[in-house]
Structure 1
Amino acid sequence: MLQAACLAVMLTSAPARADEVPPSADPLTLERVLVTTRLERVPAFDVPASVTTVDLGESGHNEVNLSDELGGVPGLLARDRQNYAQDTQISIRGAGARATFGVRGIRLYSDGIPATMPDGQGQLSHFNLLGGARVEVLRGPFSALYGNSAGGVIQLWSAAPTQDQELTVQSTYGRDDSWTAGARVRGSSGPAGYNVAVQRFMTDGYRDHSAADRNSANARFTFDLGNAGTLALVGNGFQSDAQDPLGLTWAQVQEDRTQATAQATEYNTRKSVQQNQLGALYTLAFGAHQKLHVSAWGGNRKVVQYLSIPIAAQGNPLQNGAVIDLDSDYGGADGRWSWDGELAGRPLEFTAGSNFERQRQHRTGHENFVGDVLGVRGRLRRNQRDTVENFDQYAQAYWQLVPRWSLLLGARHSQVRFDSHDLYIVGANPDDSGAREYSQTTPVAGLVFAAGDDLRLYLSAGRGFETPTFNEIGYRADGGAGLAFDLKPSVSRNYELGAKWRARSGAHAELALFQANTDDELAVARNVGGRSSYRNVGRARRQGVELAAGLPLAQDWSLEVAYTYLDAVFRDSFPICTGSGCTDPATLVAAGTRIPGTARNQLSATLGWRHGAWNARLEGAGVGDVTVNDQGSASSPGYFLANLEAGHRWDFPHGALTGFVRVDNLLDQEYIGSVIVNEGNGRYYEPGPGRGVMAGARWTWGGDGS
């Protein structure tokens, strides 16, 4: 009955994804899901988890915003803020939706190197899409095997080296005087391969006071060491200077959606980032059945951000200033051993490993004024050295019990320690030093039934946890001195029931029903003087349905569809502060209130056409309304956007030229592109741009296909 019901629903909605392939596919397809599942020989089609692979470089984007590439992933909401002083907003099944900056609740990786710090705070800014080949997205209970704050996993992987040297040069130009220029070279020399990509992006910005200048580079070198294994060396650098227009109130949106707030220009709000990172990944095979994977990495990230906190608010001796200066050194290592063989005559694969990461951050705060001059670095108001580290152990086993049934089991034990040493003890500002340690074991299990060669049914369950980040620990909810080390980690129980179908014609489909029940959910307690403090507010629940579909319609046509229904609510009532400057939590958030930043309905569809050297796509993307504060008293309206692009490829004896034109927001809709959850001044809204045209060209010389 379950098999028939799942199959009927999938065929009715025509779900599918292009990363799932017919049984006759080339075995190299397994490499596409190897890292996401940590399984050596089991493809994504046979695991009890939702896994999506997005190929990069196949659409007419400028390779700057990851949100452009992830629109068709079910369960994932990626929102471009039109504000390069803040990172792209990403949530998976409601996890991470409340993040006002950076990425929370989701683990991020680039070429196997974590882009999420040990406390769970991550950033996408240094992802170099021009050098990338694919993005893998893992959703559901098995995300917990990646540790703290793993409500989902997103991994970027660079393109593999070509046999012959290939040079690609790309440039785009679009609205708001936005342009990119980049180049990628890849190839092989004997046992060594390389992929080096550099890119620059500049824009005047859609809104006033939103100009940005970003530079990124990524290099990946691979070495085949013969019997000694394989080695990959990865290095990347990122530098950005961006103005911050801040959010708008609803009245300001109606007045002029392109404006910046008066405070943004008055205090010249802006952010500068510089990051450099190196990593190594080593693999050694022991015979035909064992492998050792070892990786190590280290880097430095510097951030300077100018906020718009008023001078009067900084009169409080406990206030930490309005210029944030962060200098972070981080690093880590991960090692795992895998074995595949048989148990009771049936295939078995086992993996066990350990992980250690550490971040040391020097954080200072300064006033954002000197005398009557605003928007400049003033007196020191904060000086502390913070350390956060984790030490984890994990294991998983995949066993095909009988020909049609298989089992995937796993567990991870995590220890996360925070340590803060206060160096600014002046007058009424006391010593805020302190330490706190969290630990949690997160077991997961999944069962798969092969109903046929083209259909899999599965059930999975597991536990996850999310510690507060250093930013959330930074301020106590009672307004007192010291850090909020009384915060507890959120612990969730996750369940997923799913089905996957594929046909030799290329049509394929996925359906997933999911639920995550959380205890000690973290939410904003109050906003005072431009600072947010947090508290545990009890239980929450996120549940819903994901459908995905890919269908070849005719010889030159294809259709991809993805739909998500998400019901994310607080299950307990709790008091909060409302209004700027509130210090007494007196407003009650009722049980059943929707978690802010989440959309109940999300739909995307892409109609593609390809004939000879020509190609075109018509995209549609719809997002339901989104509440913007805990009490649900304000919301951002839903919207539906249409985009159109077309391209042509000209082949020459030694290379090819590809030109493309793209029209975003074809119908010129007015919409809110992203929201700032619980913004203390009611400036929740970041408007999206109207109709815009972008044109680009890509020249490629050499390579395996020349």
Structure 2
Amino acid sequence: MRRPLLMRPRRHLPGLVLLSALAAPAWAVDAADVLQPIEVHSTRSDDGVSFDTPASLSVIDLQDDIARNPANLAEAFAGVPGLLARDRQNAAQDTQLSIRGFGARATFGVRGLRLYVDGVPATMPDGQGQISHFPLFGGERIEVLRGPFSALYGNSSGGVVQFFSADADTPLQARAQASTGSHASRFAAAGLRGSGKRLSYSIAASLADSAGYRAHSEALRRSFNLKLGLRVGEEGRLSLTANRYDAPDAQDPLGLSRAEALADPRQATVAATQYDTRKSALQNQLGLVYAQPLGGGHSLLAMAYAGRREIGQFLAVPVSAQASPLSAGGVVDLGGNYGGGDLRWSWQGELAARPFEISAGFAADRQHQRRRGYENFVGDSLGLRGRLRRDERNEARNDDEYLQAWWQFAPRWSLLAGLRHSRVRFVSDDDYVTAANPDDSGKVNYSRTTPVAGLLFAPDAHWRFYASAGRGFETPTFNELSYRADGGAGLALDLKPARSDSRELGAKWQSATGASLEAALFRADTEDELAVARNAGGRSSFRNAGRSRREGLEIAAHLPLSAGWQLDLAYTRLRAEFRDGFLLCSGAGCTTPGSRVNPGTRIPGIPRDQLAARLHWRGTAWAAAAQVLALGPVTVNDLGSAAAPGHALLNLEASRDWRFGGQRLHGFARIGNVFDRRHIGSVIVNEGNGRYYEPGPDRTWLLGLRWDWNG
């Protein structure tokens, strides 16, 4: 099941809220305040309602007038509790993304989370995903699901992030935007959308160019997104989505040591310029979604997609490290096709004279890739493609069946439960075999059943209390299977999937005036946690590290203060630690683990405290806002022997509207890091050379104009 069910509440009398009221007696209500009736929707519903879901689900509105940089995904995610998005100031690597600590170990791309664009997966069957092709300019909203119900999405679902393109509500709408800012950054985009009796369309294209905050970090990114909607018959609907992302030769400045970051945070590592480290990415994708009511409460939904992604990356692997006959070289050449589908049946009716909905379906995804590795030198010249050192064909596939039901078994009570069975298969065929480099072909199968259930109590129109629990799992990705921890040839076929038991208690409140408050206590206990075993010669190998725990508190509040003023708050307290001790390699060339990680050591890459606060004022034509983003210290390796300090940043923004009939010109300005604080913007967890730190930018500025026209 792609998303848990949602219910749309009716609005009643306004209410007041205090944090202490979370513990107020829920039974002290009058029967007249009970929500009757409750209308049930799939979470694919366009309104994005989350109030009646027994889960933590946040919605990011991309149609607002926040003065954000559409090329910076981390800015869009600011303010979501439990979610950590860190801009690396390095377009050669994806935005770092983790939810409640899941995904924090990823040094590139996104792992441990499920990603979707207009219902089409952006996470491959092996669990590796990317958000670089999320077209923010043409977007309507992003939904972020946290907690046990993420398990309904299958493998590597420690959390779920879904992007939705904007739909037209008039016959013709046009939009164009241009901005410029610090470090020679430029952004230009245009979009067109409209709707008729049977056909709707939305087209958006953008270009982002920047010299980069740090040396050797220039980047150019181009994206295109198309969404078509066609009414079929009286009630059927067919949606087509197509997108393209192209980022040629984005420079990679690599991480810095602590001493380097303190001396000059804008510098690039010497090896970055020596080897001209860079990455090119090209992705094309097409998806179809067809929804058809069948009558009698029955409906079908079918989804199919296909795409191709090509990666070329020059790494800073030392020439000496490539002398080993088992080395894969220092240039990655990766290309492959992927695709899949999902077929779901749903029925809405009654069970024991109470509202009931059930869904069942099947999903299958395939990933075929050709991975080649080359030396990153020719003779004495570095940063060039040299001899072939790796050539293999990889396939990952999953086949999942799922069942989900929602039942409002009493006027104030409802139950949401689901079950998913997943089978994941990895196959690798090695075409690079020599006398000193044996055949590394292999295969491994994983399977797991992941149940989840949530109970919700609605004492009146304004309050919801819920409890949920679920079981999830995360297989190693192809990158984590590629190298054995002992340095030998072949795949790490002994790796087990990590298994997590997750629980959550939460409360939600909302008023008729638009104020809202949410709070959640959560805990996830993991068995066979995947952790780095050794980093050597440009290769990372992994092992199962035993038990771990992630637990904490999330609070989110949206508070209208007076006419034109509002305050948004999001706070996360997260304690993430290894519960079992284990050994790992920490020295150069190490093959026998000898460094001990003690029980209770913090899982790296995860801050204990995270706060986002935004005070916003809106007048007739002018608007202004102040935003504070604060982050606690973050350990950077499994040993917990090094850490990045915490920081707090202030951002200011202002905007003005000019209206001319059906047209609007929106001008905006933003100053980031107003007090010019030096800080570490992101970390590279377990970086083998001790270059863990990626400095964040100093004081920055952004100026832009957006033109909107309604026909």
TM-score w.r.t. the length of structure 1 is 0.95
* Corresponding residue for residue 457 of structure 2: 449
Aligned to 2:53: 47
- The residue aligned with 2:471 is 463
Secondary structure in structure 1 of the residue aligned to 2:479: helix
- Residue 264 of structure 2 corresponds to residue 227 of structure 1: no
Of 140, 148, 168 in structure 2, the residue corresponding to residue 161 of structure 1 is 168
Match of 1:543 in 2: 551
Give the 3-state SS of the residue equivalent to 2:70 in structure 1: coil
In the TM superposition, what whole-angstrom CA distance separates every residue of 1:22-42 from its partner, at most 9, and x where no partner exists?
x999x99987x722xxx8999
2:599 alignment partner, one of 585, 588, 591: 591
CA contact (8 A) 1:126 1:237 kept: yes
Q: Distance in 1 between matches of 2:625 and 2:699?
A: 17
Write out aligned runs for 1:599-614 (5 A).
Answer: 599-614=607-622
Cα distance in 1, alignment partners of residues 151 and 47 from structure 2: 21
Question: Could you report, residue by residue, the CA deviation over 1:264-295 in whole angstroms, capped at 9, with x for unpaired residues?
Answer: 00000000000000010000001251211100
Question: Counterparts of 2:294 and 2:540 in 1: how far apart (Å)?
Answer: 52
How far apart, CA to CA, are the structure 1 residues paired with 2:630 and 2:455?
33
Going from structure 1 to structure 2, the CA distance change for 1:325 and 1:155 (only over 3 Å counts) comes to: same
**How far did residue 228 of structure 1 move?**
6.0
In 2, Cα distance between equivalents of 1:41 and 1:125: 25
Separation of aligned partners in 2, 1:316 and 1:207: 33
Q: Which amino acid aligns with 1:166?
A: Q
In 2, Cα distance between the equivalents of 1:255 and 1:229? 62
Aligned counterpart in structure 1 of residue 365 of structure 2, from 357, 362, 366: 357
Contact 2:34–2:458 at 8 Å: present in 1 too?
A: no
Opposite residue 555 of structure 1, the aligned amino acid is: A
Match of 2:418 in 1: 410
Among 145, 162, 177, the alignment partner of 1:138 is: 145
Moved over 3 A (4+): 10-13, 27-31, 39-43
Rounded Cα–Cα distance in structure 1 between residues aligned with 2:468 and 2:240: 35
Q: Which amino acid aligns with 1:52?
A: S
Contact 2:34 2:412 survives alignment (8 Å): no
Alignment of 1:244-393 (within 5 A): 244-287=252-295, 289-393=297-401
Do the aligned partners of 2:48 and 2:59 also contact (CA within 8 Å) in 1? Answer: no
TM-aligned CA deviation for residue 395 of structure 1? 0.9
Match of 1:436 in 2: 444
Please report the TM-score for the alignment, with normalisation by the length of structure 2: 0.94
Alignment partners' CA distance in 2, 1:290 and 1:576: 54
> Secondary structure, in 3 states, of the residue corresponding to 2:123?
coil
Which residue number in structure 1 is paired with residue 685 of structure 2? 677
Which letter maps to 1:439?
S
1:502 to partner: Cα distance: 0.7
Contact residue 10 and residue 510 of structure 1 kept, 8 A: no
- In the alignment, which residue of structure 2 is the partner of 1:16? none
2:495 is aligned, of 463, 483, 487, to 487
Q: Which residue pairs with 1:9 in the alignment? A: 19
1:398–1:652 Cα change, 3 Å: same
DSSP 3-state at the match of 1:130: helix
**CA deviation profile, 1:363-384 (whole Å, cap 9, x unmatched):** 0000000001100000000000
Task: Tell me the residue number matched to 2:180.
Answer: 173
Equivalent position amino acid for 1:438 in 2: Y
Distance 1:591 1:445, change over 3 A: same
Correspondence for 1:426 among 430, 434, 438:
434
CA gap 1:29/1:157 in 2 versus in 1, 3 angstroms: farther
Give the whole-Å Cα distance in 2 for the aligned partners of 1:30 and 1:688: 44
* RMSD of aligned residue pairs (Cα, Å): 1.9
Identify the match of residue 477 of structure 1 among 460, 476, 485. Answer: 485
Q: Report how far residue 76 of structure 1 moved.
A: 0.3
Residue of structure 2 equivalent to 1:152? 159
Structure 1 residue 127 and structure 2 residue 134: aligned?
yes
For the pair 1:112 / 2:119, whether they are aligned, the reply is yes
Q: Secondary structure at the match of 2:458?
A: strand
Does the 8 Å contact 2:69/2:75 carry over to 1? no
SS in 2 for 1:254: helix
Q: Is the contact between residue 210 and residue 218 of structure 2 (CA under 8 Å) also seen in structure 1?
A: yes
C-alpha separation between the residues in 2 aligned to 1:74 and 1:368? 42
User: Does the 8 A contact of 1:645 with 1:662 survive in 2?
Assistant: yes
> Is the 2:227–2:242 contact (alpha carbons within 8 Å) kept by the matching residues of 1?
yes
Does the 8 Å contact 1:280/1:297 carry over to 2? yes
Deviation per CA, 1:206-237: give whole Å up to 9, x if none: 00000000000000000111336100000000
Give the Cα separation in 1 of the matches to 2:469 and 2:18. 24
Match of 2:74 in 1: 67
1:19 match = none
Q: Deviations over 1:614-670 (max 9, x none)?
A: 111110010100000001000000000110000011001241100000001111111
Q: CA deviation at 1:255?
A: 1.1
1:195 equivalenced with 2:205 (yes/no)? no
User: For the Cα contact (< 8 Å) 1:10–1:547, is it kept in 2?
Assistant: no
- Output the amino acid matched with 1:645: E
2:52 and 2:562 mapped to 1: Cα distance?
A: 28
**Alignment partner, residue 239 of structure 1:** 246
Deviation of 1:411 (Å) = 0.6
Instruction: Tell me by how many angstroms 1:66 deviates.
Output: 1.7
Once the two structures are superposed, residues 666-698 of structure 1 have per-residue CA deviations (whole angstroms, 9 ceiling, x without a partner) of: 111110000000000000000000101100000
Instruction: List alignment gaps of at least 5 residues for structure 1.
Output: 1-5, 14-22
**In structure 2, C-alpha distance between the alignment counterparts of 1:642 and 1:579, rounded to whole Å:** 40
**Partner of 2:666 in structure 1?**
658
Contact 1:394-1:412 within 8 A present in 2 as well:
yes
Which of 77, 81, 93 is the aligned partner of 1:86?
93
- CA deviations 1:594-626 (Å, max 9, x no partner) are 000000000000001001011111100101000
Q: Partners of 2:38 and 2:247 in 1: how far apart?
A: 37
Shift of 1:166: 1.2
- The AA in structure 2 aligned to 1:247 is G
**Matched-pair contact (CA < 8 Å) for 1:568–1:595:** yes
Partner of 1:17: none
- Aligned partner of residue 19 in structure 2, secondary structure: helix
Greater mean deviation of Cα atoms: 224-233 or 537-546 = 224-233
User: 1:669 & 1:446 partners in 2: Cα distance?
Assistant: 43
Separation of aligned partners in 2, 1:698 and 1:11? 43
Cα distance between partner residues in 2 of 1:148 and 1:399: 26
Aligned-pair CA distance for 1:401: 1.2
**Take 1:200 and 1:136, find their aligned partners in 2: how far apart are those partners?**
24
1:690 is the counterpart of 2:695: no
How far apart, in 1, do the equivalents of 2:624 and 2:195 lie? 33
Structure 2 vs 1, CA of residues 12 and 285 (structure 1 numbering), >3 Å: closer, same or farther?
closer
